[in-house]
Structure formats: C-alpha cells, structure tokens
Structure 1
Amino acid sequence: MPEAPERHVFVYGTLRRGGRNDINRLSPAPDYVGMGEVRGVLYHLDWYPGLALGGEEAVTVVGEVYRISAELEAILDGIEQIVPGADSEYFKREVEIAVQGRPVTCLLYEINPVHVRERRPMGHGDWIVFHHG
C-alpha cells in the first residue's frame, strides 16, 4: 500500500493553540510545522471567525500550520461542518501558505462568501489577539 500523501492544514481561528477547538487536543494529534500567513480578510461571525481569501481589503492573516492524517482531516471537516454543495458554511481550499518564508500547500477552510456579505471585516489578521485582546 502506498502511503497517503502528507497533508497540511492552516488554522486561523478556534482550531489554533488555546482556541475553543484547539487542534492539539484532537486525536490523532497533528504535528506542528510552524506559523504561517496568507492574504485575506477575517470576519467575526460569532465566537469564531471566517476567512475570505484575497480581496481588496486583504490583510496578512496569521495562523498555525500542522501536518495531519486523513483521520484528523475527517474530524476537522466535521468541526467545520463541511457539506457538499453551495450551502456549506465553509469550503475546503488548497492554498500555498508561507511558513517561515517557504511555501507549504495547505488545506484551508474558507468562509462561504454568502455568510459574510453583511459583515464588516475585522481589519487585521490575528484572531487570537482580537478575541483575547
């Protein structure tokens, strides 16, 4: 059996270390790779944020990059309530994230634009600082 390709995930909200859904408390545990950043817009939805990639108001959004297993990816999909079709609150994307200056292809859960149409951007890209500040 060939080994499954290595997967990485970029987490920017409640899945970050110390967050409500801290990925480090999940099983099977992920491997921390490093801090990463991507250009986008963070929105405050309730007790969690949503990230829209790119855009005119884009800022540098910071998060953590982890190496994950297929089992953990399925658990994350459940937390983010990924469902097929256009109604999902989040969409899974594969994006290049800069991790200490080198690109790493990561899964990222991007907010469905429909859910942030009436929302104002947070104006900066660090959910943990915003939420605990």
Structure 2
Amino acid sequence: MTSDAVYLFTYGTLMHGFSNPFAERLHTLSTFTGKGSFPGTLYKIDWYPGAVYEAENQYRIYGEVYKITVPEILFPELDEYEDVFEDVKKSLYLRKIIPVLMDDGSVLNCYTYLYNQDVRNLEIIRSGDFRQINL
C-alpha cells in the first residue's frame, strides 16, 4: 500500500450492512481494505454511535477501513453527514487521523470521525462493536 493513500475507518452507520445514501456513496467511491480497531470508548448516541479515541484504553472500537479514491469529493459529503462544522465546538464529530490496528496485524493511519460532544450520561457500548447492538 502506498504511503500517500487516504484511508477512512468507519465504526457506525457507514459500515457495510447499513442502508443510507452516505454509506452507499462511501462504498461507491472507495475500496474496502479490511477490518480493524483502535483503543477507545464507543458510545450509543441515538440510532448511531460516537467513538472517543483513547490511546491508553484497554477497550477497542471495531470497524471497517476503506481506501478513499476521491477524498476531495467524498470527505466534504461525509463531513456534512457527520455534522462537522468550521466552529469546532458546534461540530458533532471531528475528522481526525488515528492509528488503526488491522486484523492482519498491520497499522494504518486512517481518518475517522470522533465524537466531539459531552459523553456524560451516554450508554457505553462495552463490546466496542456497534453492529452487535444494531444489526
């Protein structure tokens, strides 16, 4: 894999098996690379999850990695879906690059949408796998 490739880690409604126009768009404009995980806490926000990256956390968040073929087209669309705004404080999520441990043992630096609001009083998804509560 080339070092200049752009990858996206998804852990919620953008994964395979979820039916929405943004997931369909992602799957059309990217290549599925594999499954992976990163350390952190996964919360149930509503009908969708929110992840907080915590490098030292013993719990992991599980999802899928996609190689993005046209980031200049896809990321603005996904940013809109994820309520990413210029005003960081108002953004529901922030798109950040984090290290993702792939199932094959390799590590890829991937963009992911990390939850950017107060997590107090939110239900923690202990398994780290949103599919286990939603599909």
- Offset at 1:59? 1.4
Matched, 1:93 2:96: yes
Q: Residue in 2 aligned with 1:50?
A: 50
User: Within 5 A, what are the aligned runs for 1:53-132?
Assistant: 53-54=53-54, 58-68=58-68, 69-70=70-71, 71-84=73-86, 85-99=88-102, 100-114=104-118, 116-132=119-135
- Percent identity over the alignment is 29
- Offset at 1:41? 0.7
Under a length normalisation based on structure 1, what TM-score does the superposition of the two structures give? 0.85
Q: 1:53 to 1:42 in 2, by over 3 A?
A: same
Structure 2: which 5+ residue stretches go unaligned? none
Q: 1:94 to 1:55 in 2, by over 3 A?
A: closer
- Offset at 1:124? 1.5
- Offset at 1:96? 0.8
The answer on whether the counterparts of 1:40 and 1:57 sit within 8 Å (CA) in structure 2 is: yes
- Offset at 1:120? 2.8
Query: For the residues of structure 2 that align with 1:47 and 1:63, how far apart are their CA atoms?
Result: 17
Under a length normalisation based on structure 2, what TM-score does the superposition of the two structures give? 0.84
RMSD over aligned CA atoms reads 2.0
- Paired residues, what number? 127
Q: Residue in 2 aligned with 1:18?
A: 17
The answer on whether the counterparts of 1:98 and 1:104 sit within 8 Å (CA) in structure 2 is: yes
